Structure 1
Amino acid sequence: MAARFTVTYFVRAADEAEARARALDIALEQTVEIPRSVVPKGYVEDEILGRLENLHKDPEGRQGFLATISYSEDDVGGDFLQFLNIVFGNSSIKPGLRVEDIGLSPGLLSLCTGPRHGISGMRTRAGIGQKPLLMSAIKPVGLSTAQLARLAHDFALGGMHFVKDDHGLVDQRTAPFDERLKACIDAVGEANAKTGGKTSFVPNVTGPASAIIERAKHAQALGAGGVMIAPALAGYDIVRTLAADPDFSLPIVSHPAFSGANIVSPDCGFSHRAFFGTLHRLMGADAVVYPNFGGRFGFSREECQSIAKACSVDIGGPKAILPAPGGGMTFARLPEMRDAYGNDIMYLIGGALLAEPDLVSACQRLVASV
Structure 2
Amino acid sequence: KASVGFKAGVKDYKLTYYTPDYETKDTDILAAFRVTPQPGVPPEEAGAAVAAESSTGTWTTVWTDGLTSLDRYKGRCYHIEPVAGEESQFIAYVAYPLDLFEEGSVTNMFTSIVGNVFGFKALRALRLEDLRIPTSYVKTFQGPPHGIQVERDKLNKYGRPLLGCTIKPKLGLSAKNYGRAVYECLRGGLDFTKDDENVNSQPFMR
- Normalised-by-shorter TM-score class: 0.5 to 0.7
Is the aligned partner of 1:20 residue 2:21?
Answer: no
Which of 64, 77, 86 aligns to 2:102? It is 77
- Give the alignment partner of residue 127 of structure 2, picking from 72, 90, 98: 98
Residue of structure 1 in register with 2:139 after alignment: 110
| TM-score, structure 2 as length reference | 0.62
TM-score after normalising by structure 1:
0.37
The residue number in structure 2 matching 1:8 is 32
Q: Is the 8 A contact 2:167 2:193 kept in 1?
A: no
Extract unaligned runs of 5+ from structure 2: 1-24, 152-156
RMSD, matched Cα: 3.8
Q: Which runs of 4+ in 1 moved over 6 A?
A: 14-17, 115-118
Match of 1:204 among 157, 174, 195: 195
Q: Give how far 1:167 is off.
A: 4.5
Q: 2:73 aligns with which of 48, 58, 70?
A: 48
Whether contact under 8 Å (1:27, 1:50) holds in the other structure is: yes
The alpha-carbon deviation at position 162 of structure 1 amounts to 3.6
2:21 is matched with none
**Between Structure 1 and Structure 2, which shows a larger proportion of helix residues?**
1
Per-residue displacement from partner, 1:178-213 (whole Å, max 9, x unpaired)? 222122111116xxxxxxxxxx44333542259xxx
1:70/1:126 CA distance change after superposition, 3 Å? farther
Q: Max radius of gyration: which structure?
A: 2
1:161-176 to structure 2, matched below 5 A, reads 162-170=163-171, 172-173=173-174, 176=177
Q: Please point out which of 57, 60, 70 is paired with 1:33.
A: 57
Query: Displacement of 1:54 after TM fit?
Result: 1.5
Q: How many residues align?
A: 164
SS of the residue 1:10 aligns to: strand
Name structure 1 gaps, 5 residues minimum: 129-160, 190-199, 211-370
After superposition, where does 1:290-369 map in structure 2 within 5 Å?
none
Q: 1:6 is aligned with what amino acid? A: L
CA distance in structure 2 between the aligned counterparts of 1:19 and 1:126, rounded to whole angstroms: 57
Per-residue CA distance 1:91-144 (angstroms, 9 max, x = gap)? 1113411111111023431234557779xx9xx97836xxxxxxxxxxxxxxxx
Contact 2:30–2:93 (CA<8 Å) still a contact in 1?
Answer: yes
CA distance in 2, matches of 1:125, 1:24: 54
Q: Which has the higher contact order (CA 8 A, sep 6+)?
A: 2
C-alpha distance in structure 2 between counterparts of 1:174 and 1:90, whole Å: 35
Contact (CA 8 Å) 1:3, 1:73: kept in 2 or not?
A: yes
Report if aligned partners of 2:167, 2:182 keep a CA contact under 8 Å in 1.
no
SS across alignment from 2:189: helix
- Equivalent pair of 1:15/1:64 in contact (CA under 8 Å): no
